[in-house]
Structure 1
Amino acid sequence: MESHYETLGLSPDASRDEIRRAYRVLLKRHHPDQGGSRARFLRIKRAYEALTGEQAPEADGGAVPQSATAQTYDPSARIDGVGPELTVRGDLLSLSLVGLVQDVPLADLLDGRARIGTHRPVAFFTVHNTAPRAVQWRGRAATSFVGTDGFLYQGSNILRPHAHKLAPTWSGTDLELRPDRAVNTLVVAQELPDDVEVAKVIYAQSSTDDAGNTQTERYLFDVRPRAREALDELPADFD
């Protein structure tokens, strides 16, 4: 029986990005809607999911971690605006996506010289704690970017060593947010393929009360083309 790597035409040391690229190619070649074999397509899909832990997109659908939506609350129906700001209101946070810049020279975000010679998508948020207790903002670890290719890309810690060089009104690290306090913060995405843009941004916030009960909310920003264009500018502090 062929291994999952053999199904995708890869060696066992293939990276996650290589797995995704191989799946994209095979998806176009073997999808039943394109005249491919359904049995072959299902083997490819199972191999992708087994190797990545993600639900495989079958076309333009989102690939998300298989546990991502378990026991979460999605307030995405309560979303205002189409740009230049999108806001999702939950019981824990009021979260505004105030910028989503697809191709940021990361050195431009920092004061002084910084040797970061790469471009990445960056999401800029205003976070307001609406809960009756403090919550822990975990931007990089809890933010996911869904590409126009349907794949999920996590936040990156590439700016962590340089967070002190950001504009003073912005944070790039995890922090505790007291009730009714707000902060501007940004999250850098992992590197995306050149032909892929961010289509959705997802943030998951958890909070545990004094009785030990944990509440989780999932904030989904479906960034449609009109909003994407309006959000694709750096906030004024970085101009």
Structure 2
Amino acid sequence: MSAPKNATLRVIVVDDEELVRASFAAILSSAPDIEVVAACNGTVAVAAVSAHLPDVVLLDVRMPGVSGLDILRHIRKLPEPPEVMMLTSFSPGGAVRDALRDGAAGYLLKNTAPEQVIRGVRVLAAGGFMLSRSIAARVVEGYVSSVSPEAELEKLKALTPRERQALVLLGHGKSNEEIAEAMQIALGTAKDHIVALMGKLGVNRVRAAVLAERAGLL
């Protein structure tokens, strides 16, 4: 769900530690275009999302008694799910793969600079994705080891010229609105191209960008 242009971005912060919730809420509230509508622990996260209808959720991946990945899956099943940025204190392994597979659009370390956290919320709300550098390296490494260049090129043959163009722009980190503007098409049409290409490639937005780079399109 992408927020309308120039709208105030509604955000929920989910973490089991009150101090962490307060810190992220303070960082985000310092931005004039962001409103933190709730800060809660994992046990009430899905209910909070349903009640407040945020544009973006910052979600701790590991919390006592509840899995951030389980919460992510529940959120993504909602009728109009928000974009989800996973938070972690360390660079995880399989949790990154699982989160991206299940619909997370971002993954940040908790020690990420405040301005980058704010930027991440804006990027996700605009339909983009964002990963901390060390996490991005793990994603690329995992993808490179699991897919051959020949298989990637074979998948790309299924794309139409416009879908391939959208893939290149997506690979450069463009938001849905920026892709629509660059392709000189309506936002809805751009979204249709993105959904279609991800379906044909069998990947989410982040892995589509990695594939574009691996295939030499960037």
Q: By percentage of residues, which structure has more strand? A: 1
With normalisation by structure 2, the TM-score equals 0.24
Bigger RCO of structures 1 and 2 (CA < 8 A, at least 6 apart)? 1
With normalisation by structure 1, the TM-score equals 0.23
Return the index of the structure with the highest Cα Rg: 1
